Chain A
Amino acid sequence: MALPNPARPNPALGQIPDSYKYGWHDAEQPPTTFEKGISAEVVAEISRIKGEPQWMTDLRLKAYRHFEARPMPTWGADLTPIDFQDIYYYVTGTDRAAQSWDDVPDYIRRTYDKLGIPEAEKKYLAGVGGQYDSEVVYHNIRTDLEKQGVIFLGTDEALKKYPEIFREHFGTVIPANDNKLAALNTAVWSGGSFIYVPPGVHVELPLQAYFRINTENMGQFERTLIIADEGSSVHYVEGCTAPTYSTASLHSAVVEIIVKKGARVRYTTIQNWSHNVYNLVTKRAVAHEDAVMEWVDGNLGSRVTMKYPSIYLLGERAHGEVLSIAFAGDEQHQDAGGKIIHAAPNTTSLITSKSISKGTGRTSYRGLVKVYPGCEKSKSTVRCDALILDEQARSDTYPYMEIDEEDVTIGHEATVSKVGSEQLFYLMSRGLSEAEASAMIVNGFIEPIVKELPMEYAVEMNRLIQLQMEGAVG
Chain B
Amino acid sequence: MTTSVPTALTLDAQAISRISDHLDEPDWLRALRADWWRRAGETPPPTGLEEEWRRTDLSPLPRDGELLLDPPSVEISLPAGAAEAGVVVSDLRTAVAEHPDLVRRWLGQSEGQASHAHFWALALAGWTGGLFVHVPRNVTVDGTIVARTVLDRADVTYLPLTLVVAEESSSATVLEEVVSPDGGTGWFGGIVDIRAGQASRLRYANLQQLGDGAWNIGAQRVEVGQDATVTTLNAEVGSKVTKVGLDVQMTGKGGTSKLLGLLAAGDDQHIDINSDQDLHASYTTSDLLYLSALYDRARAAFYGVTKVRAGSAQTSSYQECRNLLLSPQAGAEPIPVLEIETNDILRCGHGATAGAIDPTQLFYAQSRGLDPEAAERMIVRGFFEQVVAQIEDETIRERILAALARRIGTTEAFA
Chain A contacts to B: CB under 8 angstroms: 75, 373, 376, 386, 388-418
Beyond A376-B328, A388-B345, A401-B335, 15 extra complex contacts between A and B, CB < 8 Å: A388-B340, A388-B342, A396-B337, A399-B352, A403-B355, A404-B331, A405-B325, A406-B330, A408-B356, A410-B355, A412-B352, A414-B349, A415-B348, A416-B349, A418-B345
Whether B351 and A411, one on each chain, are in contact in the complex, defined by CB atoms closer than 8 angstroms, is yes
B334 contacts A by Cβ under 8 Å = yes
Tell me the smallest distance from the CB of B274 to a CB of chain A, in Å: 14
Residues of B within 8 A of A390 (CB): 343
Whether A391 and B344, one on each chain, are in contact in the complex, defined by CB atoms closer than 8 angstroms, is yes
Main secondary structure of the interface of B (DSSP, over half): strand
Whether B348 and A391, one on each chain, are in contact in the complex, defined by CB atoms closer than 8 angstroms, is no
The residue of chain A having its C-beta at the shortest distance from the C-beta of B331 within the complex is: A404
B338 contacts A by Cβ under 8 Å = yes
Expressed in whole angstroms, the Cα–Cα distance for A396 and B310 within the complex equals 13
Residues of A within 8 A of B349 (CB): 413-416
Q: A406-B327, A411-B353, A415-B349 are in contact. Are A391 and B343 (CB under 8 A)?
A: yes
The residue of chain A having its C-beta at the shortest distance from the C-beta of B300 within the complex is: A403
Q: A391-B344, A397-B337 are in contact. Are A373 and B329 (CB under 8 A)?
A: yes
Contact of B338 among A373, A403, A416 (CB under 8 A): A416
Tell me the smallest distance from the CB of B305 to a CB of chain A, in Å: 9
Q: Report B299-329 CB contacts with A as 1/0, cut-off 8 Å.
A: 0000000000010000000000001011111
Whether B352 and A401, one on each chain, are in contact in the complex, defined by CB atoms closer than 8 angstroms, is yes
Contact of A408 among B51, B329, B348, B354 (CB under 8 A): B354
Contact of A417 among B328, B330, B345 (CB under 8 A): B345
The residue of chain A having its C-beta at the shortest distance from the C-beta of B302 within the complex is: A401
The residue of chain A having its C-beta at the shortest distance from the C-beta of B323 within the complex is: A403
Give the interface residue-count category, chain B.
20 to 34
B339 contacts A by Cβ under 8 Å = yes
**CB-CB contacts below 8 Å: B125-176 with A:** none
Residues of B within 8 A of A392 (CB): 310
Contact of B354 among A397, A401, A415 (CB under 8 A): A401
Q: Report B350-383 CB contacts with A as 1/0, cut-off 8 Å.
A: 1111111000000000000000000000000000
Q: A386-B340, A417-B345 are in contact. Are A401 and B333 (CB under 8 A)?
A: yes
Whether B338 and A396, one on each chain, are in contact in the complex, defined by CB atoms closer than 8 angstroms, is yes
Whether A413 and B345, one on each chain, are in contact in the complex, defined by CB atoms closer than 8 angstroms, is no
Whether B335 and A400, one on each chain, are in contact in the complex, defined by CB atoms closer than 8 angstroms, is yes
Residues of A within 8 A of B352 (CB): 399, 401, 411-413
B70 contacts A by Cβ under 8 Å = no
Tell me the smallest distance from the CB of B255 to a CB of chain A, in Å: 20
Tell me the smallest distance from the CB of A441 to a CB of chain B, in Å: 13
Expressed in whole angstroms, the Cα–Cα distance for A393 and B308 within the complex equals 12
Q: A398-B337, A406-B328, A416-B349 are in contact. Are A388 and B323 (CB under 8 A)?
A: no
Tell me the smallest distance from the CB of A351 to a CB of chain B, in Å: 13
Q: Report B96-138 CB contacts with A as 1/0, cut-off 8 Å.
A: 0000000000000000000000000000000000000000000
Expressed in whole angstroms, the Cα–Cα distance for A242 and B356 within the complex equals 48
- List 14 A–B pairs whose Cβ atoms lie within 8 Å, in order of A's numbering: A391-B343, A391-B344, A392-B310, A394-B340, A394-B342, A400-B333, A400-B335, A406-B327, A407-B328, A408-B325, A408-B356, A411-B351, A414-B336, A416-B348
Residues of B within 8 A of A405 (CB): 325, 328
Residues of B within 8 A of A373 (CB): 328-329
Expressed in whole angstroms, the Cα–Cα distance for A393 and B340 within the complex equals 8
Chain B contacts to A: CB under 8 angstroms: 51, 310, 323, 325-345, 348-356
Residues of A within 8 A of B333 (CB): 400-403
Expressed in whole angstroms, the Cα–Cα distance for A136 and B340 within the complex equals 42
Whether A410 and B354, one on each chain, are in contact in the complex, defined by CB atoms closer than 8 angstroms, is yes
Tell me the smallest distance from the CB of B154 to a CB of chain A, in Å: 30
Tell me the smallest distance from the CB of A407 to a CB of chain B, in Å: 5
The residue of chain B having its C-beta at the shortest distance from the C-beta of A363 within the complex is: B340
The residue of chain B having its C-beta at the shortest distance from the C-beta of A358 within the complex is: B343
Tell me the smallest distance from the CB of A375 to a CB of chain B, in Å: 11
Tell me the smallest distance from the CB of A202 to a CB of chain B, in Å: 35
Residues of B within 8 A of A388 (CB): 340, 342-343, 345
Residues of B within 8 A of A400 (CB): 333, 335
Tell me the smallest distance from the CB of B280 to a CB of chain A, in Å: 16
Q: A407-B356, A414-B349 are in contact. Are A396 and B330 (CB under 8 A)?
A: no
The residue of chain B having its C-beta at the shortest distance from the C-beta of A376 within the complex is: B328
Whether B335 and A396, one on each chain, are in contact in the complex, defined by CB atoms closer than 8 angstroms, is no
Expressed in whole angstroms, the Cα–Cα distance for A410 and B334 within the complex equals 10
Q: A408-B325, A412-B352 are in contact. Are A402 and B337 (CB under 8 A)?
A: no
Tell me the smallest distance from the CB of A422 to a CB of chain B, in Å: 13
Whether B326 and A389, one on each chain, are in contact in the complex, defined by CB atoms closer than 8 angstroms, is no
Q: A388-B345, A413-B350 are in contact. Are A396 and B340 (CB under 8 A)?
A: yes
Residues of B within 8 A of A398 (CB): 335, 337
Name which of A373, A403, A407, A408 has the most chain B CB atoms within 10 A of its CB.
A403
Residues of A within 8 A of B342 (CB): 388, 391, 393-394
Residues of A within 8 A of B326 (CB): 406
Expressed in whole angstroms, the Cα–Cα distance for A394 and B341 within the complex equals 4
8 A-B pairs with the lowest CB-CB distances in the bound complex, closest first:
A388-B343, A406-B325, A397-B338, A416-B348, A415-B349, A418-B343, A403-B354, A412-B352
Expressed in whole angstroms, the Cα–Cα distance for A265 and B197 within the complex equals 58
Tell me the smallest distance from the CB of B66 to a CB of chain A, in Å: 37
Whether A399 and B331, one on each chain, are in contact in the complex, defined by CB atoms closer than 8 angstroms, is no
Residues of B within 8 A of A417 (CB): 345, 348
Whether B353 and A410, one on each chain, are in contact in the complex, defined by CB atoms closer than 8 angstroms, is yes
Residues of B within 8 A of A402 (CB): 331, 333
Residues of B within 8 A of A391 (CB): 310, 342-344
Tell me the smallest distance from the CB of A364 to a CB of chain B, in Å: 9
Residues of A within 8 A of B355 (CB): 403, 406-411
Whether B310 and A414, one on each chain, are in contact in the complex, defined by CB atoms closer than 8 angstroms, is no
Expressed in whole angstroms, the Cα–Cα distance for A17 and B334 within the complex equals 43
Expressed in whole angstroms, the Cα–Cα distance for A380 and B350 within the complex equals 16
The residue of chain B having its C-beta at the shortest distance from the C-beta of A409 within the complex is: B355
Residues of A within 8 A of B345 (CB): 388, 416-418
Expressed in whole angstroms, the Cα–Cα distance for A26 and B344 within the complex equals 43
The residue of chain A having its C-beta at the shortest distance from the C-beta of B355 within the complex is: A409
Expressed in whole angstroms, the Cα–Cα distance for A266 and B354 within the complex equals 28
The residue of chain B having its C-beta at the shortest distance from the C-beta of A395 within the complex is: B340
Residues of A within 8 A of B335 (CB): 398-401
Residues of B within 8 A of A406 (CB): 325-330, 355-356
Tell me the smallest distance from the CB of A10 to a CB of chain B, in Å: 27
Tell me the smallest distance from the CB of B266 to a CB of chain A, in Å: 13
Tell me the smallest distance from the CB of A449 to a CB of chain B, in Å: 19
Tell me the smallest distance from the CB of B258 to a CB of chain A, in Å: 19
